[in-house]
Each structure stands twice: as structure tokens, then as C-alpha cells.
């Protein structure tokens, strides 16, 4: 169970708007986040992953405090062990597909499984420059899964995939999420792709 009870002043262009979020995410659940551009969806994922700090509040995961503004606790992103799929992929330009995955796990069998799942098995020696946008996005998803995270945070993870690839990948991803009991939070503007996942919707409309 993830309990988030936080406040952050979003640095918007004109002024600062307060984003307050109080919500619990059950273990193994999937939460689908919708909402207008600039409403703080990415910022919420970053705060959970330890890549941004709330001004006030707490984040508690399975009884362990990841963040507490008053007690000045903030676990490092490494200690939080979350899988994060960034909107812009955040791949390493000098690493091949294989190296990206080896950086995350030493389990060769798992890497093989992942590259097949993402249909990148013929591209393991390719660096991001020599991958299409959709292949890069699949690599970003595989890298997040490589650590076998208990918590998977995905920011517009399917935006570069064609519809056939998207439905194939989503169906594989759903069974993996279930098998590994991964608590998952997905941010997307695309209602149709979100409908392919069972889970609660969290709408950021009107939050700030
Ligand atoms: N660490 C931070 N602290 C405070 N404000 C931030 C931080 N990071 C980003 N912001 C601000 O938060 C606002 C919301 O940005 P964010 O990327 O979270 O929105 P979003 O809902 O994901 O938008 P989009 O749908 O366009 O991706 C922006 O104005 C941004 O400048």
C-alpha cells in the first residue's frame, strides 16, 4: 500500500499553484491518471520516485516512510526501487539496448525475456540513435521492468507506438504486472489506451 499525502507549489509561469494530493494506492493495483497539461501529473510521479520533493507531507510505502517533510526524511530514488518510464524516454545515448538492460539487472534470462517481449531481440546491439521512436519507447519500458520493480510509474508510455504494437505490448505488460504483483501508475492523455487497463482513474482536472 502506498499512502501519499503531500503538497507542492507548482512552479508555473505566472505564479505558484498549490497541488494537494491525498490518496492511497493498493498493492498490485493499477491507477490511471488523466488531466490537463501542466496540472502536475508528471510531478506526482517524480515525487513518488524521489526525483522531486514536496513542500509538505508524507509518502509511506508498506509502512516504510519514503518521504516526511517534518522529519526531513527523503529516501534516495535508488532506495525506492521504482521502475520509471519517462515521457522523453531518458535513454543513454552511448549504450546499446543490451547495455541499458544490463545496467538495470544481471539476470541474463530475464533480459532475454524482456527483449522478446518488447520485440527488440534483433536490435540488442543498437544504440538509441539507431532505433525508431517506438523502439526507443519500448526500450524505456523494458528498462523500467528490468529491475522487477514493486512500483511502476509510467508517463505517456505508449505515445510513440502504432496501434498493433500498442495492443500487443499492453497485453504482455498486463500479464507481467499481474504476475509480479506490481503497483502501477500510468499517466496518459489517451483514454482509449487507458481503457485497456482495469483500474481506478485519478483525474487531475480542477486539482490546482
Ligand atoms: N520539482 C518541481 N517543483 C515544483 N514545480 C514543478 C516541479 N517540476 C515541475 N514543476 C512545475 O509543475 C507544473 C506541472 O508540470 P507537470 O509536468 O507535472 O504537468 P503534467 O500534468 O504532467 O503536464 P503534461 O500533461 O503536459 O505532461 C509545471 O508548471 C512545472 O513547471
Q: Is residue 166 scored above 80 in pLDDT? A: yes
CATH T-level topology, domain 2-92+149-203: Rossmann fold (3.40.50)
pLDDT digits (tens, 9 = 90+) for 173-198: 999 999 999 999 999 999 999 999 99
Gyration radius from the chain CA atoms: 17
Count of CB atoms within 10 A of residue 183's CB? 22
Ligand 1: centre distance to CA 90 (Å): 17
Count of CB atoms within 10 A of residue 41's CB? 24
Count of CB atoms within 10 A of residue 207's CB? 17
Question: Residue 30 to residues 24, 42, 67: CA-CA distances in angstroms?
Answer: 12, 16, 22
Protein residue whose Cα sits closest to atom 8 of ligand 1:
43
Ligand 1: centre distance to CA 138 (Å): 24
Protein residue whose Cα sits closest to atom 24 of ligand 1:
37
What is the distance between the alpha carbons of residues 53 and 140, in angstroms, rounded to a whole number?
23
Mean per-residue pLDDT for 166-170? 93
Ligand 1: centre distance to CA 39 (Å): 7
Protein residue whose Cα sits closest to atom 16 of ligand 1:
40
pLDDT digits (tens, 9 = 90+) for 71-120: 999 999 999 999 999 999 999 999 999 999 999 999 999 999 999 999 99
CB 174 within 8 A of CB 193: no
Atom of ligand 1 nearest to the CA of 35: 21
Query: Euclidean distance between the first and final Cα of the chain, in Å?
Result: 25
Protein residue whose Cα sits closest to atom 4 of ligand 1:
10
Q: Is residue 13 scored above 70 in pLDDT? A: no
Task: Tell me what pLDDT residue 147 has.
Answer: 96
Q: Is residue 16 scored above 80 in pLDDT? A: no
Q: Is residue 145 scored above 90 in pLDDT? A: yes
Pocket residues for ligand 1 (CB within 6 Å)? 8, 10-12, 35, 37-43, 52
Task: Tell me what pLDDT residue 124 has.
Answer: 98
* Structure confidence at residue 207 as a pLDDT band (50, 70, 90): confident
Ligand 1: centre distance to CA 9 (Å): 10
Ligand 1: centre distance to CA 44 (Å): 9
Mean per-residue pLDDT for 49-63? 97
ipTM of the modeled complex = 0.96
Ligand 1: centre distance to CA 41 (Å): 7
| DSSP H helix total and E strand total for the chain | 7, 10
Amino acid at each position: 500500500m502506498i499512502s501519499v499525502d503531500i503538497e507542492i507549489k507548482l512552479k508555473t509561469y505566472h505564479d505558484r499553484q498549490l497541488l494537494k494530493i491525498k490518496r492511497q494506492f493498493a498493492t498490485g493495483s493499477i491507477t490511471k491518471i488523466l488531466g490537463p497539461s501542466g496540472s502536475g501529473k508528471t510531478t506526482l510521479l517524480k515525487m513518488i520516485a524521489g526525483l522531486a520533493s514536496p513542500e509538505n507531507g508524507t509518502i509511506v510505502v508498506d509502512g516504510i516512510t519514503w518521504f516526511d517533510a517534518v522529519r526531513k526524511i527523503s529516501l534516495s530514488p535508488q532506495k525506492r526501487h521504482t521502475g520509471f518510464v519517462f515521457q522523453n524516454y531518458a535513454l543513454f545515448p552511448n549504450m546499446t539496448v543490451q547495455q541499458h538492460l544490463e545496467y538495470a539487472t544481471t539476470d541474463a534470462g530475464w533480459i532475454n525475456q524482456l527483449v522478446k517481449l518488447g520485440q527488440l531481440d534483433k536490435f540488442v546491439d543498437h544504440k538509441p540513435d539507431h532505433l525508431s521512436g517506438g523502439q526507443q519507447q519500448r526500450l524505456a519500458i523494458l528498462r523500467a521492468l528490468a529491475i522487477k520493480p514493486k512500483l511502476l510509474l509510467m508517463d505517456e508510455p505508449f505515445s510513440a507506438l502504432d496501434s498493433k504494437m500498442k495492443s500487443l505490448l499492453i497485453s504482455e505488460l498486463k500479464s507481467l504486472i499481474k504476475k509480479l504483483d506490481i503497483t502501477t501508475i500510468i499517466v496518459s492523455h489517451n483514454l482509449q489506451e487507458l481503457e485497456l487497463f482495469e483500474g481506478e482513474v485519478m483525474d487531475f482536472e480542477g486539482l490546482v
